[in-house]
Structure 1
Amino acid sequence: MWTITGATTEYTVGDDLGLIAWGPIGVSDGPSPYAFHGRVQYMLEGDVAAVEYAPTGLRPFLGADLAVAGESLTWRLVSVDHADGLRASLADDVTGLVVDLFWRFAPGTDVIERWVSVRNGGPAPVTITRLGSAAFTVFGHDISYLSGQWSQEFTPSSVRLPRGRFEIGSGQGVTGHQFSPVVAISHGRAAYGIGLAWSGSWQITVDVDTAGLTRVRAGRALDGAPITLAPGESVTTPVASGVYSADGLDGLARQWHAYERGRSRDLTPRKVIYNSWEATTFDVTADGQLALATAAAALGVETFVVDDGWFVGRHDDHGGLGDWTPDPAKFPGGFGAFVSAVRDRGLEFGLWVEPEMVNPKSALYAAHPDWVYRAGGRPMSTIRNQYLLNLGREDVFEFVRDTLDGLLSSYPIAYLKWDFNRPRTESAPAADLDGAHIRNLYRVLDHLRNAHPSVTVEGCAAGGARVDLAMAARTDVLWPSDNTAPLDRLRIQWGFLSAYAPHLMSSWVTDAQGMFDSRERSLNFRFVLACAGVLGIGADITRWNEHERATATDWIARYKRVRDVIMRGTVTRIGSPTSSRCAIQYTLDDRVVVAAWNAGGLDGRDGVPGRDIRLPLHSLDPAARYGDYSGAHLMAVGLPVRWTPTYDADLFELRRR
């Protein structure tokens, strides 16, 4: 057996590369719970064994992890290296494929990272039709996942699977609005989380076998686009991560948060931003933007971001994409002078870009029509009146990299919002377009980190269509959804925090009306909601009255006092986003911050007997005092709140003494 150890858990693999144990340290000291007895009927043993990674010849019926065209793969174990994590090398003697399996715990966490490298060591090309990153064998039949659509992302969903198969994924060349690449399997109080660090097409499949064991496979989706390896060529999968928690789904969330914080380049408190999109849309002018910047600075905003509409040809969504030159008609005094004027107001400057896109009505497309994805001689489709550049091409990669380098070097830009507003619809089945595009996307993002380390990068994709573990590691903040209406957004952020940390969650205060829940909520409600992550404002603040501006000024100051706790604190969700008991607790050392909302109704407005709503807090010192209450009271009874028609949310600051 080989055991690798994380912060509090261990993972043990046997010499047949089957899972022996996964759980708290010491769990392998006893008979393996994954071992089975009895005869396997009408299948192979690999179909019901807890095998870590299986070719089609080992697991032909219930779901293999690696498959090639025209062959039923089998392999032999060549070597195992236990020096740094775990590495097992295997070989298929017929095709000549050499497969290396990798396991390691991310330092200081209980998240185990797994991936695979496949090399063609044979004399002929080999076409891979299925390429998983890893398979995790777990106990439990209750599956939790995040589903949705544009403006309704990260909706918590669940299904019980006593037998059979459940699958989620994306075939759009982007993570997608419909599902997030993370699932949880619950088994009593224990829970297992599986996530995939990939921003292209992907799939996660959950199989429950004939003996009731659950196996979760995660990896890239290759449907219609197999990968052909010439002799000597290799391919490496994205990382699939798994985590065990004895504290249920909220425990899993905290494990994911710790993992994402560990992979972040910077955990200093995020600046409060203002974004001009909802105030001006494409009607960007120097005077209009400076009026917004003046108002934002007066509120205490720290970064001013000019959104879409600043470049030549961009008067609506029909033109301009690809031509990333500031429009001299919109900035008659020069773009540099405009940026300086924003900074003179005490604000850092930010800019919106969509580097992977091009409009048919653009100089770039006229010069390089071959740079977009095409499907032979078939008609091309547009979404939002734009095409998708083939970033997998080296010349397109260089154009995107050099364009962003030029902007960031020419102007003192401190914040870059990277958008992506259409999926891929055209493809060539013979080429690994998805892999090439995403690898070059990561190359550009990694380059920006190295060349411009002080620039904050926000990942956006028509809302939350590119939120995954890979983007969480390569950007500083992520945009969960274009829907900023209060009750809609509360549900979105609640789901987001089940897998992604608050330091990543960009959130704006706007005047948007609900799309799915149109009940009115106060400006305070909207601010507490945006304070739950990285605070931003997107409303037309030049139209706010004096009271609204004073309210905003107060909330921004309150957020600055507690944002370090929100960014780095342990998160506990209390209640639900459909009830009057709904809160998020952030705990950091001796400090506790509680963001609370009334997402339900009232109790009769004191016309009938009622009692305070209680928010039971977690992991406090029962003998200490937190404000006016003992830790024991706050945990056993809860923090009291009494919602009214005008008091529908609050942010509580408590300190242990």
Structure 2
Amino acid sequence: MTVRDLTWGDGEVRLTFSMDAEDRIRLTGFLAGRPLGAFDRSLPLVEIITADRSKNAGSRYDATELGLDLRYVAHRTASDDRGEVLEVDLRDQVSALRATVRYSLRAGSGVLSSSVTLAHAGSAPAIPVLFVSSLVLGDDAWDCDSTTIHLADNDWLAEARWRSGSFAEFGEPEVDMAAHFGASPRGSLARIGRGTWSTGEHLPMGAMEFPGGDTLLWQVESNGGWRWELSQGPASRPAGSLRLVTSGPSDVEHQWSIVLDDGDEFVTPVTTFAWSTDGFEGALARLTEHRRADRRRYAGDAGLPLIYNDYMNTLNADPTTEKLLPLIAAAGSVGAEIFVVDAGWYSDEPGWWDSVGAWEASTTRFPGGFDEIFHAIRAQGMTPGLWLEPEVVGIHSPVASTLPDDAFFGRHGSRLASSGRYQQDFRHPAVVSRMNAVIDRLVAAYGLGYLKFDYNINPASGTDHHAVSPGEGLLAASRAYLDWIDALHERHPQLIVENCASGGMRSDWLTVSRFALLSTSDQQDALRCAPIAAAATTMVPPEQAGVWSYPQHGMADAVTTVTLANSVLRRPILSGHLDHMTEAELDRVREFVAAHKSVRDELPVLQSTWPLGLPGWEDSWIAAGLVGIRGGYLTVWRRDADSPERVSIPVGRLLPPGGRRVERVFPRDADGGWEIVGDTLEISLPAPSAVVLRFR
């Protein structure tokens, strides 16, 4: 058998391929000079399921019949905005299906992105497609017993809950297939994102950390359904060896299918992975730099201006002129730079949930006119901001009768209602035209420099309007929404736009990369917010990690300290009834504002570290830091009085060469005590409390 080889990449990531005499091509390695083991050559470059070409029984998606039989046609290299590009063209022997696997790599980054384009290249019968992968990898050294797997559950008010364990500890024990006729196991460890809340159950991320610290960390970049799985190889491979398959939506999990006819194409969502020899934190540092290079830049957001929003634990969607004016004055007095009027501004009635959509300001809430509010904001030297939920129309809104049925998500010819609302479909020109007019009117009328885009429904599997399946409709409509966001930025380049979906229900990178910041959670309990704030930088870089701080008059000093400390090293979204506070309470808020402003210029170059490990939801002690070349910062929380009063925290990563000085950033009068002994911070704190420290 003649074998032909292909090599592409750089000194960090280098893909090697081999082809047999029948032009079947396999990936045989992906690291430059650091092979982990015998790469799994039994895997194709892409996994595909069609109506007549299936996979093995069970829930896994590796080694599909059609994928294994694809043949090499050609390859080419190029460059794009993600770096260097390799495209490998493949053909199916049986049908007119063609596949192009596309890899892109930023030189020296240790980060690679992968996607697949399927095309119907002939006049043969149409091809119903039920699944196509974005990335396929496997290595015999990826042993299910010795490999530590990291994954993150994500739920409303409980976002970014990372867990670590072995394959067996996550419910998939190693099974020896040697006695079972060479078969493959049928199960897999899978995480899935469904519906329009792309991260309503899990983050689209995962990692494998191998003995010695080598780590592969991945993210699936899809806002319309995604999946990743780890599964064990067949009996022909060493027992317990792992395979990774990632994808966008699938038929079984998302009711997704497409039909490719002559000339049709489909492009999968991208999967990006980062490789590091320095554990999870090293891989995340590389992924963070990739995200920073990949995200849209906001001219208006230069300097990371401090945001005040009237919602959380404050007006709670019930704004009026009488309530807002003193809040605006108080927010300006403590140093806020943006003031956002949140939900409720558009309704004369308290029960506005199912009547939204026109986005016209209430006259009863603002008898002197809504523009009076924004004049007051500007008079305090702040940028005006406004909350909006652009994708929804209430079922009782007059707008619902002005748009055709196919301007909304629908099933079987009927509009699809979710929580008393309809979902607009941004594939429809009437939706795009109407929402462009709404945004342009609001920006012009009130001089807005900031918009908070919220999203609070999740309409099932999608829409079958203009689609052969609900999942196809969902993916296409979700992509069209992001196209609308891109066009909005082109029309209003100075506008800062925040991504919120009931907090962090849309934390997929495809979405977040288009926004200035992510609202990471709606959690209103300061102590429960702490682990979310600590883990927020796994979802986004710290300068995009929007974290609420909501001090109140009469709040216990310790809780006030915790809620403010939560966001010092993140992107604060300040709230709370500042207008009810005493001068002493306001001084604490001013101290917080000054503390954050003293560090914010460094945030875009710092990397995350968790010296006590990624935070657990019930952890009593939590430590989350940011590391730079001149030293680092660390927030330490003690949440539970039953926990040890003193802990030892390894801080070697945070200490600059020769540096052993630790300074208090916030609060200036923190209780407790600490000292550095060698590379360890010995710290004692009362409970509950938190402190932010600087290492120089």
TM surpasses 0.5: yes
Confirm or deny: 8 A CA contact 1:56 1:65 kept in the other structure: no
Q: CA deviation at 1:328?
A: 2.9
- Superposed counterparts of 1:235-384, under 5 Å: 235-266=266-297, 268-278=302-312, 279-312=314-347, 315-368=350-403, 370=405, 371-376=407-412, 380-383=416-419
Alignment match, 2:34: 27
Task: State the alpha-carbon separation in 1 of the partners of residues 521 and 63 from structure 2.
Answer: 35
Alignment match, 1:126: 127
Alignment match, 2:138: 137
State the TM-score, normalized to the length of structure 1: 0.87
Q: CA deviation at 1:148?
A: 3.5
Alignment match, 1:570: 607
2:227 to 197, 200, 203: 203
Amino acid at match of 2:191: I
Task: State the alpha-carbon separation in 2 of the partners of residues 491 and 620 from structure 1.
Answer: 23
Structure 1 residues 588 and 329, CA gap change in structure 2 (3 angstroms): same
Structure 1 residues 313 and 204, CA gap change in structure 2 (3 angstroms): farther
Alignment match, 2:18: 14
Alignment match, 1:388: 423
1:430 to 442, 459, 468: 468
Q: CA deviation at 1:250?
A: 1.8
Q: CA deviation at 1:554?
A: 0.6
Confirm or deny: 8 A CA contact 1:200 1:438 kept in the other structure: yes
Task: State the alpha-carbon separation in 1 of the partners of residues 6 and 133 from structure 2.
Answer: 22
SS at structure 2 position matched to 1:618:
helix
1:398 to 433, 452, 477: 433
Q: CA deviation at 1:641?
A: 2.6
Stretch of structure 1 that moved more, 301-310 or 149-158:
149-158
Q: Is 1:193 aligned to 2:193, yes or no?
A: no
Amino acid at match of 1:101: V
Q: CA deviation at 1:183?
A: 0.9
Deviations 1:434-466 (A, max 9, x none): 122111111111112222222221111112110
Structure 1 residues 343 and 222, CA gap change in structure 2 (3 angstroms): same
Q: Is 1:651 aligned to 2:692, yes or no?
A: yes
Deviations 1:48-106 (A, max 9, x none): 724332345999438557989xx898332110113442110112243212211101113
Structure 1 residues 72 and 200, CA gap change in structure 2 (3 angstroms): closer
Task: State the alpha-carbon separation in 2 of the partners of residues 7 and 419 from structure 1.
Answer: 42
Q: CA deviation at 1:386?
A: 1.7
2:45 to 40, 52, 67: 52
Confirm or deny: 8 A CA contact 1:503 1:568 kept in the other structure: no
Amino acid at match of 2:136: A
1:151 to 151, 157, 162: 157
Alignment match, 2:246: 218
Task: State the alpha-carbon separation in 2 of the partners of residues 207 and 637 from structure 1.
Answer: 39
What is the CA RMSD across the aligned residues, in angstroms?
A: 3.0
Amino acid at match of 1:5: G
Task: State the alpha-carbon separation in 1 of the partners of residues 619 and 63 from structure 2.
Answer: 45
1:592 to 629, 632, 642: 632
Confirm or deny: 8 A CA contact 1:314 1:321 kept in the other structure: no
Stretch of structure 1 that moved more, 414-423 or 314-323:
314-323
Confirm or deny: 8 A CA contact 1:21 1:33 kept in the other structure: no
Alignment match, 1:558: 595
Gaps of 5+ in 1: 37-47, 513-517, 606-610
Identity of aligned residues (%): 21
Q: CA deviation at 1:573?
A: 1.0
Task: State the alpha-carbon separation in 1 of the partners of residues 589 and 353 from structure 2.
Answer: 35
Q: CA deviation at 1:312?
A: 4.2
- Superposed counterparts of 1:527-566, under 5 Å: 527-566=564-603
Task: State the alpha-carbon separation in 1 of the partners of residues 473 and 256 from structure 2.
Answer: 8
Q: CA deviation at 1:587?
A: 2.4
SS at structure 2 position matched to 1:185:
strand
Amino acid at match of 1:639: L
Stretch of structure 1 that moved more, 315-324 or 257-266:
315-324
Alignment match, 1:77: 72
Count of residues in Structure 1 that have an aligned counterpart in Structure 2? 623
State the TM-score, normalized to the length of structure 2: 0.82
Amino acid at match of 1:558: A
Stretch of structure 1 that moved more, 475-484 or 82-91:
82-91
Structure 1 residues 130 and 571, CA gap change in structure 2 (3 angstroms): same
Gaps of 5+ in 2: 79-83, 168-173, 176-186, 665-674
Confirm or deny: 8 A CA contact 1:53 1:65 kept in the other structure: no
Stretch of structure 1 that moved more, 159-168 or 548-557:
159-168
Confirm or deny: 8 A CA contact 2:318 2:343 kept in the other structure: no
Stretch of structure 1 that moved more, 454-463 or 483-492:
483-492
Task: State the alpha-carbon separation in 2 of the partners of residues 107 and 403 from structure 1.
Answer: 42
SS at structure 1 position matched to 2:286:
helix
Q: CA deviation at 1:625?
A: 4.8
Task: State the alpha-carbon separation in 2 of the partners of residues 580 and 587 from structure 1.
Answer: 23
Q: CA deviation at 1:285?
A: 1.4
Q: Is 1:116 aligned to 2:116, yes or no?
A: yes
Confirm or deny: 8 A CA contact 1:617 1:639 kept in the other structure: no
Q: Is 1:5 aligned to 2:9, yes or no?
A: yes
Task: State the alpha-carbon separation in 2 of the partners of residues 93 and 628 from structure 1.
Answer: 67
Q: CA deviation at 1:531?
A: 1.4
Confirm or deny: 8 A CA contact 1:527 1:555 kept in the other structure: yes
Q: CA deviation at 1:417?
A: 0.8
Deviations 1:14-46 (A, max 9, x none): 3454232233x3226xxx82346xxxxxxxxxx
Alignment match, 1:39: none
Task: State the alpha-carbon separation in 2 of the partners of residues 603 and 300 from structure 1.
Answer: 36
Q: Is 1:503 aligned to 2:503, yes or no?
A: no
SS at structure 2 position matched to 1:14:
strand
Alignment match, 1:41: none
Structure 1 residues 286 and 191, CA gap change in structure 2 (3 angstroms): same
Task: State the alpha-carbon separation in 2 of the partners of residues 349 and 572 from structure 1.
Answer: 35
Task: State the alpha-carbon separation in 2 of the partners of residues 75 and 366 from structure 1.
Answer: 50
Q: CA deviation at 1:7?
A: 7.1
Q: CA deviation at 1:236?
A: 0.9
Confirm or deny: 8 A CA contact 2:486 2:514 kept in the other structure: yes
Confirm or deny: 8 A CA contact 1:581 1:615 kept in the other structure: no
Task: State the alpha-carbon separation in 1 of the partners of residues 68 and 481 from structure 2.
Answer: 32
Structure 1 residues 261 and 349, CA gap change in structure 2 (3 angstroms): same
Task: State the alpha-carbon separation in 1 of the partners of residues 432 and 627 from structure 2.
Answer: 42
Task: State the alpha-carbon separation in 1 of the partners of residues 677 and 606 from structure 2.
Answer: 18
Task: State the alpha-carbon separation in 1 of the partners of residues 479 and 210 from structure 2.
Answer: 36
Confirm or deny: 8 A CA contact 2:542 2:569 kept in the other structure: yes
Stretch of structure 1 that moved more, 225-234 or 421-430:
421-430
Amino acid at match of 2:521: S
Q: CA deviation at 1:300?
A: 0.9
- Superposed counterparts of 1:60-75, under 5 Å: 60-61=55-56, 63-64=60-61, 74-75=69-70
Q: CA deviation at 1:244?
A: 1.4
Amino acid at match of 1:217: V
Confirm or deny: 8 A CA contact 1:313 1:319 kept in the other structure: no
- Superposed counterparts of 1:624-643, under 5 Å: 624-626=659-661, 636-643=678-685
Confirm or deny: 8 A CA contact 1:155 1:495 kept in the other structure: yes
Q: Is 1:234 aligned to 2:265, yes or no?
A: yes
Structure 1 residues 592 and 7, CA gap change in structure 2 (3 angstroms): farther
Amino acid at match of 1:19: L
Task: State the alpha-carbon separation in 1 of the partners of residues 222 and 536 from structure 2.
Answer: 17
Alignment match, 1:167: 190
Q: CA deviation at 1:374?
A: 2.5
Confirm or deny: 8 A CA contact 2:26 2:43 kept in the other structure: yes
